[in-house]
């Protein structure tokens, strides 16, 4: 993974382009995340959470999500692309940011999440 800036934050990324190509890829990622009809994948949030708990990543969510994304797209090569990997990763990261210390979604955080 490379490093990228999103809204002035440093983040790991699957996007390895630079300059205008990187900016165009970021636009595509946002389009996928914000438009359910653009998503070539469906996320089973319950399965992802259970896998995270069962694989015991000691709280390192980024490491788990990176590996999970690689595995998901290795099993689904027809939809694999840096843009799709990035969108998938960011959606999962957003989901995990909404989980409280007990492993439960915070109130109103689960709206729009599918099983």
- What's the first-to-final CA gap in the chain, in angstroms? 28
User: Which residues sit opposite 11 in a β-bridge?
Assistant: 4
Is 102 a member of any domain?
A: no
For the segment 53-62, the average pLDDT, to the nearest whole number, is 78
9's enclosing H/E stretch is strand 9-13
Boundaries of domain holding 61: 2-97
Number of domains in the chain: 1
Whether 48 is covered by a domain: the verdict is: yes
Residue 65 near residue 96, CB atoms below 8 Å: yes
* Pairwise CA distance, residues 90 & 96, whole Å: 10
Q: Are the C-beta atoms of 15 and 83 separated by less than 8 Å?
A: yes
* Model confidence pLDDT, tens digit, residues 64-105: 899 999 999 999 999 999 999 999 999 999 988 887 656 666
> Does a structural domain hold residue 26?
yes
């Amino acid at each position: 993974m490379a490093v990228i800036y999103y809204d002035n934050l440093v983040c790991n990324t699957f996007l390895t382009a630079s300059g205008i190509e990187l900016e165009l890829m970021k636009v595509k990622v946002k389009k996928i995340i914000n438009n359910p009809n653009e998503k070539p994948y469906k996320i089973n949030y319950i399965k992802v959470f259970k896998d995270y708990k069962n694989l015991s990543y000691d709280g390192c969510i980024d490491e788990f999500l990176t590996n999970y994304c690689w595995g998901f797209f290795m099993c689904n090569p027809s939809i694999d692309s840096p843009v799709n990997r990035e969108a998938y990763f960011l959606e999962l990261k957003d989901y995990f940011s909404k989980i409280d210390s007990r492993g439960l979604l915070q109130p109103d955080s689960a709206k729009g999440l599918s099983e």
